[in-house]
Amino acid sequence: MSLFNQSLCADLSALVKRYGIEPAFLRLEVTETAYGAGQNQLLKAVQELQAAGFMIMMDDFGSGYSSLNTLKDTPVDYLKIDMRFLESFDRSSRAGSILTSVVRMAKWLDLPVIAEGVETQQQIDFLRSIGCDIIQGYYFARPMPMEDFNDYISAKIESAETHGRNGSISETEIDILMGGNQIVNKLLSSVFGALAFYEFEGDKLELIRFNDTYFDIMHETPASLMAKSTDMIQYTDSEAERKRLLEACRAAIRDGGIKRIKSHRRLHDGCVVYADLVIRALTESGERSIICIAFADISKAMDTENELAYAHEQLQTLIERIPSGVALYEYAKKPFIVYANDSFFRIIGRTREEFEKGFKALDLLPEKSRKILAELIENPLKLTGTIARQGDIELPDGEKRTVICQATPMLPSREGNPRVLYILTEIKHSELRKPTI
């Protein structure tokens, strides 16, 4: 089929129309012979085919006439890299550098790249790492009859989800990772944060490699760590922590994804280390798996959180013990109680449940006191400082209590709703009769 056949576009258009095929499904390769036949004719033929909806691929880019100059003048839709670059890939670092540059250039031109002639896992990994879009070659399969192809594709679709989820690495890669490869050593040493590799079997987690930050966090030396390395799980703080870590490791192996948990451990010197763990299963062989765990030391943050929690607990205990009623209101579409102590509900003679069902604070007030205290309850946005008012509240049995209501505007909620702190102090009638100075 010649690109310069004047009826080529019409013939192909008739064929796709006859068989109900979208023109874009046909990728037409422009071969090396077409590049040397005349640039003007080539450009005209390519533009006519593209206008009809066909996709044009520049074949064997990097060889012969398939050059940068041709790419500059010919508006193709795909770029196919000459397979001879991959033939010398494992012997020449220059081939890898050229491939990287070609892919980067194609990205700048917004051109998808196809690498053909791919036969090894090493080539696959490299091409993926430099951003190659499409990979073609015997690595996947050799040419086959259509019936075999249909079976092959069906099997691939069924296994694609599991294969993509596991993302396991090969034994060769594990050997490189665990061996003395200088590049791997430098990468591990330069990682920000602690990183360790374990062999997981049954309920045991054997430490097999780690970086410097790991033994710094653990307050250990490399020698002391390796002395404990046969089962690191036994050094967790409690049985509950062991179960959480074991379950996270098993889930990472089972699901093939990344599992993240917070954990803590009491070290040999008495210090407690809190860490955010990111767990990933690298490979699985029978009942054994290689697991990578990245540690982010969050001890300082957890210490601060624990101190705040303790202070909050102490404050809440103090508030519960004071005789005055304390309530924090938030004014959204409807006002609601964020927090209130038991004395608050005792003084007003109502329960938490009544408020949760929509009981309104103004319903507590007889007409006389309603006007006095309404400004504190109905207009929280007008409060610029602490305001105190004295009034009566009416209990369910008709009894009236005299209270001093103190309202203080607080910081708004995260949603921006205003909040007000109310303090109710009950005034006994005997106290009202005392002379004031």
pLDDT digits (tens, 9 = 90+) for 133-151: 788 888 888 889 988 888 8
CB 376 within 8 A of CB 405: yes
Evaluate if residue 173 carries a pLDDT over 70: no
CATH of domain 173-301: 3.30.450.20
- CB count within 10 Å of CB 239 equals 8
Which tens digit of pLDDT belongs to each residue from 392-410? 877 777 788 888 888 898 8
Strands (E), 31-144: 55-61, 78-81, 113-115, 134-135
Q: What is the pLDDT of residue 260?
A: 92
- Res 166: pLDDT: 46
Is 173-301's fold the same as 322-432's?
Answer: yes
209 closest CA partner among 76, 217, 194: 194
pLDDT of 366: 57
| Domain ranges, ordered by start, for the chain | 8-166, 173-301, 322-432
The dihedral formed by the CA atoms of 120, 123, 125 and 131, expressed in degrees to the nearest 10: -140
| Unique residue bearing structure tokens 């033939």 | 87
Task: Render pLDDT for 234-278 as a digit per residue (tens, 0 to 9).
Answer: 778 788 888 999 999 999 988 888 899 998 888 888 888 888 999
Smallest CA-to-CA distance from 30 within 62, 78, 69, 99 is with 78
Q: Tokens in use for 37?
A: 């036949």
Let me know if domain 8-166 sits in CATH 3.20.20.450: yes
Three-class DSSP category at 138:
coil
**For strand 288-297 and strand 272-285, is the pairing parallel, antiparallel, or unpaired?**
antiparallel
Q: How many CB atoms lie within 10 A of CB 361?
A: 21
Neighbours of 140 (CB within 10 A): 12
* DSSP label of 318: H
pTM for the complete prediction? 0.45
Would you say residue 164 has pLDDT above 60?
A: no
Angle in degrees, CA 379, 383, 385, rounded to 5: 160
CATH architecture of 322-432: 2-Layer Sandwich (3.30)
Among the listed ranges 227-236, 271-280, 281-290, which one has the minimum average pLDDT value? 281-290
Give DSSP secondary structure letters for 265-282. EE-TTS-EEEEEEEEEEE
What is the C-alpha to C-alpha distance for residues 31 and 58, in angstroms, rounded to an integer? 7
Cβ count within 10 A of residue 326? 19
